[in-house]
Amino acid sequence: MPPGRLLELHEVAVHFPTRDGVVRAVNGVSYHVDKGEVLGIVGESGSGKSVTARSIMRLTAANAVDAGGSVRFRRKDGSEVLISAEHRQSRTMRSLRGGEIGMVFQEPMTALSPVHTIGTQIMRTVMLHRKVSKAEARARAIELLAKVQMPRPHDIVDRYPHHLSGGMRQRAMIALALACDPTLLIADEPTTALDVTTEAQILHLLKSLQQELGMAIVFITHNFGVVADIADRVAVMYLGRVIETGTVDEIFYEPKHPYTQALLRSIPRLGGEKTRRLRTIRGSVPDPYSVPQGCSFHPRCDHAVAGRCDVVVPAEARFPSGQVARCHLAGEVLPEAAE
C-alpha cells in the first residue's frame, strides 16, 4: 500500500448460502481509506454496506462465506497486515479490534453490556490492550467520557446503560470505541436512530474527535445529507458493489454514474426550486439472490444499452480528478442529459 494508506479492500466478496439460494451480499468491493480521512459509504438498504464493513473486522455472521478478495490494514507501528478469514480468532485480530480499529453501531446496546457499568466496560477494553492499573484505567474511562462531552463524567462512569438517554448511550459507545486511540473508526449508521438535534450533535462530536485525534473514519449511512456533513470522499454502493467513488464535491456536483445521479435527484434540497419534482428511481432493488447480469443497475437505468449493459460487467472508468465510476457510459451520461 502507498505510505499514507490505512486500509485497502480489494474485490471483497461475501456470500450467504441459505435454503432459498445464495445471497450475494458483497460482490467484489474495492475501496481504500487514507490516514486521517473520512470515507462515507452510501447506498440503499441491502446494498452490502454493513456486511462489507463487518468483513474488515472479520465480524460477519456465522453463516457468511468468504468468497474472495483481500483486506489490508496499516498498523500503528507502520507494518502492513493482511486480514484474512483464518485471522478471525487470531491474536492479531483481537489486538486490532478495539486496539487499532474501533466500531460504533446504530444500536448502542449491540456494543454495550446491560449488566455492567459504563466505566467497567471502558476499563475492561483499556486493560485488555494496555498494561495499566485499575485506577489508571478508571481515570482513562472518565477522561474518555469527558472527551465525548458526556455530562457529569465522574457520575456517569458508575452508571448502567439503561440509566442513559439514547444520545448519551451513543456517546458512551463512542468513548468505548476510542478507548485505545484507534487509527480507524468504523461507524455503521451511528446517528440513524436519533432525533435530528441529537444526530447533529453526535455528527459534530465525531467530526471534531476525528480532527483532534487524526483518526480515519469509514462512515456508513443511507443519508446523503449526513455524508455531505462529515465525509471527505464518498463510495456509493449498489447490490454488493461500489459503483462510484469521488470527493464529496465530485459526487454531489458531478456524479458520473446514473445510479448516483438518480439517488441525488430523489433527495429534497433545501432552497431548491419549488417546481422541480422529486423523482423516485424506477423499479426496486432486485433481490440479492438473483443479481442481474452485466451492470447490476441496468434494469432500472434510463440509459442502458442492450447487448452491452445487460451483458458485460462495467470496468472502472477513471477520471483525471481520481473520480471512478463503474459504468459503460460514464462520462457520457451527464446530469443534464439525464434530466
Ligand X SMILES: Nc1ncnc2c1ncn2[C@@H]1O[C@H](COP(=O)(O)OP(=O)(O)OP(=O)(O)O)[C@@H](O)[C@H]1O
* Interface residues toward ligand X, by CB under 6 A: 16, 18, 23, 25, 43, 45-51, 61, 63, 222, 288
From CA 234, how far away is CA 245, in angstroms rounded? 6
Closest distance to ligand X from the beta carbon of 178 (Å): 23
For residues 271 and 255, the answer to whether their CB atoms sit within 8 Å is no
Cβ proximity to ligand X: between 173 and 179 the closer is 173
Q: Considering beta carbons, is residue 5 or 222 the nearer one to ligand X? A: 222
In the complex, the smallest distance separating the C-beta of residue 96 from ligand X, rounded to whole angstroms, is 21
CB of 236 to ligand X, least distance (A): 11
Cβ of residue 139: shortest distance to ligand X, in angstroms? Answer: 37
**Minimum gap (Å) between residue 24 Cβ and ligand X:** 8
Question: Is the Cβ of residue 121 or residue 199 nearer to ligand X in the bound state?
Answer: 199
Vertex 257: Cα angle to 254 and 260 (nearest 5) = 75
Q: In the complex with ligand X, which residue's Cβ is closer, 43 or 246? A: 43
**Side-chain half-sphere CA neighbours of 91 within 13 A:** 1
User: In Å, how far are 26, 102, 300, 308, 324 from 311, measured between CA atoms?
Assistant: 20, 40, 15, 5, 21
CB of 245 to ligand X, least distance (A): 16
Identify which of residues 285 and 313 has a Cβ nearer to ligand X in the complex: 285
CA 5 to centroid of chain Cα atoms: 17
24/138 with CB nearer ligand X: 24
| Residue 33 beta carbon to ligand X: minimum distance, rounded to whole angstroms | 17
Beta bridge partners of 187: 104, 219
* DSSP strands (E only) in the chain: 5-18, 21-34, 38-42, 65-66, 70-74, 80-83, 101-104, 184-188, 216-221, 233-238, 241-247, 317-318, 324-325
Classified as helix, coil or strand, 248 is helix
Segment holding 250, helix H or strand E: helix 248-253
Shortest distance in whole angstroms from residue 327 CB to ligand X: 20
Write the single-letter amino acid at 206. Answer: L
Q: CB of residue 202 vs ligand X: minimum separation in angstroms?
A: 18
Dihedral class, residue 334 (left if φ above 0, else alpha if ψ from -120 to 50, else beta): beta
DSSP label at 280? P
**C-alpha–C-alpha distance, residues 59 and 51, integer Å:** 9
Q: Which is nearer to ligand X, 22 or 81 (CB)?
A: 22
What's the number of CA atoms in the CB half-sphere (13 Å) around residue 30? 9
User: How far apart are the C-alpha atoms of 238 and 68, rounded to whole Å?
Assistant: 19
| Cα(322)–Cα(250) distance, integer angstroms | 10
Residue 308 is placed in which grid cell? 452491452
Spatial distance between the Cα atoms of 301 and 298, rounded to a whole number of angstroms: 5
